[in-house]
A and B are shown apart, each in its own frame.
Chain A
Amino acid sequence: MPVNEAGEGPSTTAASETDKHAGLGHANAITRLQQEAMAFRRRTLRNITTDFTVAAKQLQPGELVKDEFFTLFEAVGALEIMDPKMDSGYIPPGDTLDPDFDPSVGLEAGEVIWIMDQLLCLEITWLEGHPLSQTVYTSLHINRLLSPDQRHSDSFHINPGPPPLRTNQDTLVHTVLRAYCIGMIKSSQLALHLIQSQTYFEEEDFVTHLFGRELLPKIDSSAAADSLLEAICWLETCGIAGGLCPALLQRCKFCLDLLRTLAGDAQRWQDMLLDLDQIKDSHHLGSPIPDAFSEKVQRQLATSTPPRPTIQISLDAAHSKWTKLCQEMLSAYELTDSDAIDNSHCLERAVWAFAYRTQPETLARAQMQDLLFSNHAVRGQMPHYDLMLTDLKSLVLAGDPLSNPEIFQIELPTDPRHACSALLREFMEKAIEEFMALYRMVYQNRCRIRRLFTQSIGIWDELQREADAIDDGLRQYPLSSQVLNSGYARTNGPLLSWARYHTSQVLVWTVQLGFETEIYLPDELSKMYWYLSALCTYRNLVIESMLRALLERKRRVRGGSRDAADCVASQQLLMSLLDASKVTESLAAALWKFYYLLGQTGIIKSPKREFAKPDLLHEARMKSYLNVPAGFVTIDLPPADGYESAVEALEQHQTGSHSMKTTTFQAIDEDLKAAKSSLAALKKYTPEQGGYVGTEAEWKKEIKQIETTCVAVAVGLSTLKRLGEKYGDGQRLGLQGLVECALERKYHVWWVIPQLKEKAAK
């Protein structure tokens, strides 16, 4: 058993102490690793089988021989040599190492079509997040091109020199299929590059591992395109009959379109949609040649991954996946293709509209990020700093001299505008990353969006502090004393208000995404909707104070001026944001009370929770919110533990003859009424006023969904009333075991609504 002296893999690492003596063990291990590294450079081959066997005999079975660097991570990475399920290099008795297929052999046109379609399937499964080893690499043609043995060639032939093209079959393989394979490989490389240049999560979103292979670094995308053009030329005159020629041409054209688009030379997603339909229609012309693909390729890859099956999908499935991808790519361009992206609110809506198509593919999410973030400018035209400035202006600085970009040009140090612009710039430098993250995070997968926003709560909290300090600084320079000092109360400066506004939004999103990702159990819904509602109450206060400050400034600007127009626009925007927040506040208020009733009546039951204590459950659930200092200057964040007092208040409301449930029913009715009237108000804003230019359809759709949700809640409530009257004794409402409550049906992913049904009598 020859192995190199340095040893191989975790299974043979040298003995050491247990974890307890971390310090010494760690130092020893470092020294040993250094020695190993030196030895590695001087390595020679020696058969150590005997030594190894002798040494191994001195150990008890099960004794763990490991050093300080051997963690769970390595334990999981270790494999048992010669175990067919773990060792990808294992060859079962009677099997051959290499697949029995020669990629340099000529093929019929139908066979080439079939291989191309198979590659189309594998490419999209890779783009969906499966490793290359189980997708594209299983093609023996691709494998030949990427094989380390072919380093000096880009042909299917092992022998040097151009392959003989004696027959059409030869040309079909060596010119047409080869060009298609190269095109696919280069497209893969470009896709990989695009994804890696943006934020994504390895393995969750995408597997970038190349298994030690390179994606034809010596061929650039234009050379690959030339090969495809050459193939297309040949196909156009080859005279192969039976509809096969057009089918091959469509496929080459698709491949070329994809390549050029990803290379940035053209924008052909629309054309590709047509290509795809044609490919689907002519798929039947292919004649299967399954031998051209083999999982045995995995044996040669640089990996300790166990052997795994190819991810096989049908062409129909591939067609719809590719179609989805093309549409998402198109939508990424469309949503960012208007002047509206200069408006931070319109852009925010565009970003969410894109993300809330059914989870877009990683490549499309990377594309969208690229459009927003390349060169620190949106679509290369709206610098991020300018975007943030428009955001500040529309929310807190309309009518304020600070919002005039010209103040950044003033260089005279004695001019107070110079000092103020320096302060504003200082703040923007501190906040820009987190501000832009508001856009970037939405392009992560759904589970991550919530977690990323949750982590940003603390950062926003910190930014509030910074903002408050800089607001203080601004007050030192009476740039326009009336404007700055009268618009905002002492502890309510513009930057702090702005930071608070975004903090409140982030907080609201984290709870809403919790509903979407279903991390709250039914008996937690009441509390979490209460918290959502309370966060919106806080948000309303923030927006209202911004509105008050705005009205002050508005009174002082000259009528008919640019400033006056800005103030009007800001006012409409703030009012629409307030109405939107009120919708959420009221609907959440209705739902927390409704779920409270469902708990009280025994319709929703809590798990036994043997080991849990209420205060610890609270800490586990509210962990992300507990470290945010409540009541940070003037406007109080709702205390994360306010639910109990809310319940108490609700129960105290019952007066005189009214039983608790009647007053609660009334309260819910009122919440629903309030939600509906805010919705009605929301509908009145034009896209320009409400900041939803470019996403008008999504805006309408969302309002419709919330309206439907309100109706569904009202229906649920009346069912509960009816059942209460039927079974209740007027005082208490015990419906345990009598009513079924389903929570699956949602009209909007953020709203969990109870559907009640009387259980059939046994």
Chain B
Amino acid sequence: MSGDSEAGAGKDAGAALRYVCYGKEKESPHLPAIRRLISKDLSEPYSIYVYRYFLYQWGELCFMALDPSDNVIGVIVCKLEPHRGGPLRGYIAMLATRQEHRGKGIASKLVRMAVEKMREQDADEIALETEVDNIPSLRIYENLGFLRTKRLHRYYLNGNPAYRLVLYLKPGIPYKPTYPPEMMPEDGGGGGGDPLHESAGLMSEDLMARQAAQMRIENVEGERHDGMRGPP
């Protein structure tokens, strides 16, 4: 298998596991297993495009824990992009460990590897969302230094709220300007109106419903602009 494999395992996770990077490979033989692992804890599956979206563009930010028979035991999927014309933001989209292997530090190790890699790639900050009552997940991130910066009302399909967690890797981020989505310079500055409707065009209503359908991957952080509907 290709990808920069990384020898060595987390000390708690048992020497039997290998931690490898998904790497540049477009459609790794592990993809179906990754999908199965992630889907287990979702009420609705992500389409294959969601996985490809991340893995094709940021395969180097995806890490897997494999057992000696190459079964995927844990996985983390991320991306790294400028956030609204401002800081370079890493985003942890998915994280899961196989049920029978939880509590041994596997996920923590995967997050650590992803954070290191993003730092290497010059990330300014890393963000993610997690359900407010997902204690293991909160533990992992808070132990690594993430802070809760927002509570998000009814973020998930099941109606549960989430926290946004953020880790700064560089100083000065609060002072960097960002733009509300509809004023992004590269959008040609088309002002006003509702960002989602504007960018998504005709299909927006469907897409929005669909987006809510998913355990949402990322909340477009338009703040006042974000999803807020006001009197005309």
Binding site for B on A (CB under 8 A): 9-11, 18-19, 22, 60-64, 71-80, 83, 85-86, 129, 131, 196-205, 207-209, 211, 302-306, 308, 373, 445-448, 450-452, 455, 517-521, 524, 607-612, 615-617, 619-623, 626-627
Flag if B211 contacts A77 (CB, 8 Å): yes
Interface digits, B160-177 against A, CB 8 Å rule (1 contact, 0 not)?
Answer: 010100111111111100
Interface centre among B52, B147, B174, B175 (most CB of A within 10 A): B147
Contact with A129, one of B125, B154, B167 (Cβ below 8 angstroms): B154
Query: 14 other contacts beyond A203-B208, A619-B171, with CB at 8 A cut-off?
Result: A60-B26, A60-B27, A62-B56, A72-B79, A77-B207, A129-B154, A209-B208, A303-B209, A446-B153, A447-B150, A447-B153, A518-B148, A519-B163, A611-B145
A76/B50 contact (C-beta < 8 A), A201-B229, A304-B207, A306-B213 known: yes
Q: How far is the CB of A176 from chain B (nearest CB, A)?
A: 33
Q: Is B223 an interface residue (CB 8 A)?
A: yes
Distance A632 CA – B156 CA, assembled complex (angstroms): 41
- Bound together, the chains give a CA A521 to CA B143 distance in angstroms of 11
| Known contacts A452-B224, A621-B147, A305 near B45 by CB under 8 Å | no
Q: Does B152 contact A (CB under 8 A)?
A: yes
Q: How far is the CB of B59 from chain A (nearest CB, A)?
A: 10
CB-based contact A202/B227 at 8 Å: yes
Task: Please report the C-alpha to C-alpha distance between residue A18 and residue B56 in the assembled complex, in whole angstroms.
Answer: 10
Give, as a whole number of angstroms, the nearest-CB distance from B150 to chain A: 6
Check A451/B223 contact, CB under 8 A, given A304-B206, A617-B147: yes
Q: What CA separation (Å) do A200 and B231 show in the bound complex?
A: 9
Task: Tell me if B200 and A620 are in contact (CB < 8 A).
Answer: no
Interface residues, chain B, with chain A CB atoms under 8 Å away: 26-28, 31, 44-50, 52-53, 55-57, 79, 112, 115, 125, 132, 142-155, 159, 161, 163, 166-175, 186, 196, 199-200, 203, 205-214, 216-218, 220, 223-224, 227-232
Q: Whole-angstrom distance between the alpha carbons of A446 and B154 in the complex?
A: 11
Chosen A-B contacts, 11 in total, with CB atoms closer than 8 Å, are: A10-B49, A64-B26, A74-B49, A199-B230, A204-B227, A306-B44, A521-B148, A609-B145, A612-B144, A612-B145, A620-B167
Sorted nearest first, the 8 A-B pairs with minimum C-beta distance are A62-B27, A612-B145, A609-B145, A62-B26, A75-B53, A77-B207, A517-B151, A447-B153
Interface of A is mostly: loop
Find A305's partner among B155, B209, B223 (CB 8 Å cutoff): B209
Taking CB atoms, residues of chain B closer than 8 Å to A198 are 230-231
- Closest A residue to B212 using CB positions: A203
Q: Are B46 and A76 in contact (CB under 8 A)?
A: yes
Contact A612 B167 (CB under 8 A): yes
Residues of chain B contacted by A207 (CB below 8 angstroms): 209, 212
Residues of B within 8 A of A308 (CB): 44, 213
Least CB distance from B209 to A in Å reads 5
Could you tell me the distance in whole angstroms from the C-beta of A355 to the nearest C-beta in chain B?
A: 14
Whether A608 contacts B200 by the Cβ 8 Å rule is no
Q: Are A209 and B53 in contact (CB under 8 A)?
A: no
Q: Is the CB of B147 within 8 A of A304?
A: no
Contacts of A199 in B (CB 8 A): 228-231
A313 CA to B192 CA, complexed, in Å: 40
